[in-house]
Amino acid sequence: MKDKLVQVVSFLWPLDANLAKSRLEADGIRCYFFDEMTITMYWLYSNALHGVKLYVKADDLERAYEILNDENEIELETDDRCPKCNLANIYYENVDQRWLYLSWLLLGIPLPFFHDRWTCRDCGYSRDE
């Protein structure tokens, strides 16, 4: 008797499904896609087909759930740290380019004091780029 295939999860986008498949195959679980090529070619059909479906053998179902629900994510090291509090919880703020274009249109020159900046989420310190 052949092993029965069961659906583990479905994904809206084929890229997400391929990431999950790679993760399962790295742990030795064979996976199969349904509707991957259809959604790749006609991405508007994704909702109608309920996404790309990832199937595994029934014997591997529990292990597949454990692997896909594993919360141990790798945290990447970053060199960007706040100079004030030395934490890595910073983000990049882009200046709204509309003000730059508006000043250029009205004054004939772009205003040079609009800068992109890094801001710390913890202490609020900002530095210009």
- Counting residues of the chain whose pLDDT is more than 70, the rounded percentage is 84
Predicted local distance difference test score (pLDDT) of residue 124: 82
Predicted local distance difference test score (pLDDT) of residue 112: 66
Tell me the average pLDDT of the chain.
Answer: 83
φ, ψ of residue 90 to 5 degrees: the values are -120, 160
Q: What's the rounded mean pLDDT across residues 16-41? A: 94
* Residue 76 in this model has a pLDDT that exceeds 60: no
Exposed/middle/buried for 59, CB within 10 Å: 0-12, 13-18, 19+? exposed
3-state secondary structure of 56: strand
Question: Which domains are present in the chain?
Answer: 5-68 (3.30.70), 90-128 (no CATH)
Predicted local distance difference test score (pLDDT) of residue 1: 44
* Predicted confidence band of residue 102 (pLDDT cuts 50, 70, 90): confident
Is 28 in contact with 56 (CB distance < 8 Å)? no
Distance in angstroms (rounded) separating the CA atoms of residues 64 and 24? 7
Distance in angstroms (rounded) separating the CA atoms of residues 102 and 77? 39
Distance in angstroms (rounded) separating the CA atoms of residues 27 and 29? 6
